[in-house]
Amino acid sequence: MNHFSIHQEISKAETLPAAFYRSDEVFNSFKEKVFAVTWHLVGNEKLFNLKTNLYPINFYPGFMDEPLLLTCDENDSVAALSNVCTHRGNVLINSPAKKSKLICGYHGRKFALDGKFEFMPEFKEAENFPSNCDNLPKIPLAKWKQFFFLSLNPAYEFIKIEKILNERTGFLPVENFTFKPELSREYLVNSHWALYCDNYLEGFHIPFVHNDLNEAIDYGTYETKTFEYGNLQIGYAKGGTEKFDLPEGHIDYGKNVSAYYYWIFPNLMLNFYPWGLSVNIVQPLTKDRCKVIFQIFMHDESKMTNSAGALLDKVEREDEFVVESVQKGVNSMLYKAGRFSPKREIGVHHFHLLLSKFLG
């Protein structure tokens, strides 16, 4: 049931079948086959301050529920670790804290901030102790600008993502963008997480679903570019819409770019506008329900009003309406699969190819 084949040529391909979105077996297989082996944005350097050097993470709550921990030592070295004691499985840290050591509250096992085992009471008689398995498992961690990414068991190096981001947005001072909690939102959407991504990955629906966005960007010149583990949609300014001040030598220098919409497989959207960045993370919950986290990082608030990203909440509500309608549709006994527009659904086709590849 979890083996799907998508034709490499979009002009000949069919979409993933309705059975893909309806299957409990497929949904559960995402955990190890997709989410455990890809890279995920889990926070930024502002997590650590004078009062905090330990930051626990529930990795995909309600879906994977993997207890992880980010630590920062006195040399500002950041590590990602399992947040589970190697003695009897107790969760070590339950809330952000400031500590020089990790000490389990169950039996007193002690670890350094890099996860190395240091001490355990009442274990003098234990043979071959300690060993490597007494250290906390270390999780591969990467940093881009101010953001931390991790992967439980990466199938590829993060540099492949970093190079693509830097190609067009490397000139932006993203490390100085300011998180705006008052503008950030979380939405519960009654649809499969992949249907939400399907919708994001094409501008085909913009004239039909997003009237205001359609007035801000030039639909006729809208572009989609794919790379190995994601893709990029480029929106060009129309009328008085704000555009990037691209430096000489930039790959798009001389073009009226109003937005760079990056999608990182499987579920991360990094939307760059002249005013800043909207981070969207699509968290699976069940096969017909997901949570979408919107985080706003501001660069120049004066440019937001006339930007392609000025009405993010309205656009999100419009997207919710259509993907929830599609969720009902894929449950129909009469719907099997569709076809791709070779011109407008390049991103969706690429997504389906990656899903079929990772699922085996």
One-letter amino acid for residue 245 of the chain: D
The C-alpha atoms of residue 86 and residue 257 are separated, in whole angstroms, by 51
Q: Tens digit of pLDDT for each residue in 2-17?
A: 568 999 999 999 999 9
Question: What's the pTM?
Answer: 0.94
User: Exposed, middle or buried, 65 (CB in 10 Å: 0-12/13-18/19+)?
Assistant: exposed
Last residue of a domain, one of 98, 123, 150: 150
Q: What residues have CB less than 8 Å from 188, skipping those under 6 apart?
A: 285, 289, 290, 291
Residue 158 lies in a domain: no
Confidence band of 359 (pLDDT split at 50, 70, 90): very high
Q: Tokens for 214? A: 């359609």
The C-alpha atoms of residue 301 and residue 299 are separated, in whole angstroms, by 6
The C-alpha atoms of residue 271 and residue 237 are separated, in whole angstroms, by 15
Same domain, 347 and 252: yes
The C-alpha atoms of residue 221 and residue 250 are separated, in whole angstroms, by 19
Same domain, 337 and 245: yes
Last residue of a domain, one of 120, 150, 180: 150
Residue 22 lies in a domain: no
With a cut of 70, say whether residue 1 has pLDDT above it.
no
Confidence band of 90 (pLDDT split at 50, 70, 90): very high
Confidence band of 220 (pLDDT split at 50, 70, 90): confident
What CATH number is attached to the domain comprising 335?
3.90.380.10
Residue 306 lies in a domain: yes
* Domain total of the chain: 2
- Dihedral over Cα of 208, 214, 217, 221: its sign: positive
Residue 26 lies in a domain: no
What CATH number is attached to the domain comprising 127?
2.102.10.10
How much of the chain, in percent, has pLDDT values that exceed 90?
A: 84
Does residue 74 sit in helix, strand or coil?
coil
CA contacts within 13 A on the Cβ side of 332: 10
Residue 155 lies in a domain: no
The C-alpha atoms of residue 353 and residue 358 are separated, in whole angstroms, by 9
Q: Please, which contacts does 277-284 make with residues 24 or more away whose CB atoms are closer than 8 Å?
A: 277/174, 277/177, 278/309, 278/312, 279/41, 280/200, 281/40, 281/41, 282/193, 282/196, 282/197, 283/60, 283/61, 283/62, 283/63, 283/193, 284/27, 284/30, 284/35, 284/60, 284/63, 284/192, 284/193
CA torsion, points 183, 187, 192, 195, in degrees to nearest 10? -40
Same domain, 333 and 283: yes
Q: Tens digit of pLDDT for each residue in 59-82?
A: 999 999 999 999 999 999 999 999
Q: Tens digit of pLDDT for each residue in 129-177?
A: 999 999 999 999 999 999 999 999 999 999 999 999 999 999 999 999 9
* Buried residues in 267-296 as b, exposed as e (16+ CB within 10 A): bbbbbbbbbbbbbbbbbbbebbbbbbebbb
Residue 106 lies in a domain: yes
Same domain, 119 and 196: no
Average pLDDT over residues 25-33: 96
Of the two residues 141 and 222, the one the predictor is more confident about is: 141
Q: Tens digit of pLDDT for each residue in 296-310?
A: 999 999 998 877 766
| Per-residue confidence (pLDDT) for residue 208, from 0 to 100 | 73
Same domain, 216 and 187: yes
Same domain, 281 and 250: yes
The C-alpha atoms of residue 305 and residue 331 are separated, in whole angstroms, by 39
Average pLDDT over residues 236-247: 89
Prior bond of 284 cis (ω within 30°): no
Does residue 260 sit in helix, strand or coil?
strand
Same domain, 210 and 77: no
Residue 25 lies in a domain: no
Domain boundaries, position 229: 167-358
Residue 33 lies in a domain: no
Same domain, 55 and 181: no
- Dihedral over Cα of 172, 351, 64, 135: its sign: negative
Average pLDDT over residues 111-122: 97
Alpha-carbon distances of 56 from 59, 97, 246, rounded to whole Å: 9, 9, 38
Name the helix (H) or strand (E) containing 214: helix 211-216
| Per-residue confidence (pLDDT) for residue 317, from 0 to 100 | 80
| CA 208 remoteness from chain centre | 27
Last residue of a domain, one of 124, 150, 176: 150
Confidence band of 258 (pLDDT split at 50, 70, 90): very high
Nearest to 191 by CA among 2, 333, 328: 328
With a cut of 80, say whether residue 311 has pLDDT above it.
no
Same domain, 187 and 84: no
Same domain, 192 and 306: yes
| Per-residue confidence (pLDDT) for residue 319, from 0 to 100 | 79
Same domain, 184 and 281: yes
| Per-residue confidence (pLDDT) for residue 214, from 0 to 100 | 61
CB of 272 closer than 8 Å to CB of 297: no
Same domain, 125 and 241: no
